[in-house]
A and B are shown apart, each in its own frame.
Chain A
């Protein structure tokens, strides 16, 4: 009789579900080869919880009518405000890093193929919501770049007519910056909470993909996978801490540190790093409607991927396709860098070329290569 065995029945006899949980967690039903990167969705969820907590604290002091001033107040006057703001800003970088990595992995391993399409769609939905939340949060800073991005966005939306114009007017609520930021603060929170719903659906759909039955040499979740999650979490938290304390403004446009002003137009309006590629694709489309169509097309090809991929389960895609996925990732990185560079003719040409390759990859190369491999 060990100490733990005698101690457990006290709580379990009074709360029987504890025993069910303990036996369920320790039941050897899982295969032992789950990769470390498989922990990414859980890390994304944990980051989202952390962002919610730090966001709640920021919400106490944030005033959309004095956006830039209230953030300066948080940075300078609120106890540990600089740290909470740093947590929120760096959390954005971490969560986008994890989401991009998870999507890259899903592309590389072909996890979007049937029966995994729904999990793939939910991952993309997660990315789109996260980008919206990130974009709104970036506008809420009220810095010079955010101010002018908002002014251009709302101005373009106001200029639209008919149904798109009505939608634009509803979202921005007029071209006035302060009224707009007040509603964006609400949208920012509401969409962030909606992300939890998407994540719940994602986990449910992913669980349904699991092969039924108990694998050979099965292990229990505890302690085998709790240890794996713990190790993954420690590495993730370490990167997070280094970024918070040494590079708190990583990937932000330095011009956004200046206060937004109608009389001070920054050179170029490069968004934070996680929006650079989308911003570049939007920039390629002519006019406001062209930009919207270009961004929608950019996401549509990702959604269409399960059908653009012609490979059969019998003849899986090989090294060439994986090489193409790596090239695609490099193309998106190059697109982001071109968008981050100071505005010039060369940057515009490169942006156009890299956008062209992005669509070429999905609409031509993917069907061609996978069909060729499938014979």
Chain B
């Protein structure tokens, strides 16, 4: 009887000590985590860098058949407003006939089909393509032309001819409203 009583007390004390140990380690762990967070967070991009990463561009002022160049993510981004004819000519091209098959809908945002938003770099040899300005050489499809290797793209950036094999890249972006797009 006495022996079992001693064991019960020892058992209770062990339980109490275990509880205190868990409590101390858990509190200490929380403290270390709270202390570590500023060190980790300080290496995250600051607000200014995030503002640049999620750039908002006003596209309302772009006249039809002209484009603007903005820099986002270290790349030249071309935003061009297409004419009704340019849209109509390319809307129903059968993708399988193209070197890099893609439908018209894949290349534009629904509801904003008149805007082509593209990374303005040729996919063959690295070179900035021409076509933002109506006076630029735009190639036979009235789209984009690479002045370096002569690759030809249609207005929504699908490759139609030349050494290049891939369509122009499309950056991540969304239309916030009729006049603003946000990258990132």
Contacts and interface: CB of A to CB of B under 8 A. Distances in A.
Contact of B14 (A2, A79, A81, A83): A2
A77 interface: yes
A81 B38 CA distance: 8
Contact of A80 (B14, B38, B47, B48): B38
B144 to A, nearest CB: 38
A84 B46 contact: no
B39 A77 contact: no
A277 B2 CA distance: 68
A77 B47 contact: yes
B1 interface: no
Which residue among A60, A83, A87 has the maximum number of chain B CB atoms within 10 Å of its CB? A83
B88 interface: no
Contact of A78 (B14, B37, B46): B46
A2 B43 CA distance: 45
A83 B38 contact: yes
A54 interface: yes
B48 to A, nearest CB: 6
Q: Which label, helix, strand, loop or mixed, suits the secondary structure of the A interface? A: helix
B41 interface: yes
A309 to B, nearest CB: 43
Interface in B31-67: 37-39, 41-44, 46-48
A57 interface: yes
B39 A53 contact: yes
Determine which residue in B38, B42, B43, B47 has the highest number of CB atoms from chain A within 10 A of its CB, and name it: B42
Contacts of A79: 38, 41-42, 44, 46
A84 B14 contact: no
A80 B44 CA distance: 10
A83 B40 CA distance: 12
A81 B47 contact: no
Contacts of A84: 38-39, 42
Of B14, B41, B48, the most chain A CB neighbours within 10 A belong to B41
Interface string A79-121: 1110110010000000000000000000000000000000000
B108 to A, nearest CB: 37
A2 B42 CA distance: 45
Contacts of A87: 38
Q: How large is the interface on A (under 10, 10 to 19, 20 to 34, 35 or more residues)?
A: 10 to 19
Contacts of B46: 77-79
Interface in B3-47: 14, 37-39, 41-44, 46-47
B42 A78 contact: yes
Contacts of A57: 39, 42-43
Contacts of B38: 79-80, 83-84, 87
Interface string A318-343: 00000000000000000000000000
B29 to A, nearest CB: 14
A29 B38 CA distance: 41
B41 A54 contact: no
Given A2-B14, A77-B48, A60 B43 contact: yes
A60 B47 CA distance: 17
A230 to B, nearest CB: 8
A220 to B, nearest CB: 16
A150 B95 CA distance: 70
Contacts of B48: 77
A79 to B, nearest CB: 4
Contacts of A81: 42
Contacts of A2: 14
Contacts of B44: 79
Contacts of B37: 80
Contacts of B39: 53-54, 57, 80, 84
Nearest to A80: B38
A53 B42 CA distance: 12
A235 B123 CA distance: 63
Contacts of A53: 39
Contacts of B43: 57, 60
Nearest to B47: A77
A157 B115 CA distance: 66
A59 B118 CA distance: 38
A143 to B, nearest CB: 21
A55 to B, nearest CB: 11
Contacts of A60: 42-43
Nearest to B44: A79
Contacts of A80: 37-39, 41-42
Chain B CB within 10 A, most for which of A60, A79, A87: A79
Interface of B: 14, 37-39, 41-44, 46-48
18 contacts: A2-B14, A54-B39, A57-B42, A60-B42, A60-B43, A77-B46, A77-B47, A79-B42, A79-B44, A79-B46, A80-B38, A80-B39, A80-B41, A80-B42, A81-B42, A84-B38, A84-B42, A87-B38
Interface of A: 2, 53-54, 57, 60, 77-81, 83-84, 87
Q: Which 9 A-B pairs have the closest CB atoms?
A: A80-B38, A79-B41, A83-B38, A77-B46, A57-B42, A80-B41, A80-B42, A84-B42, A79-B44
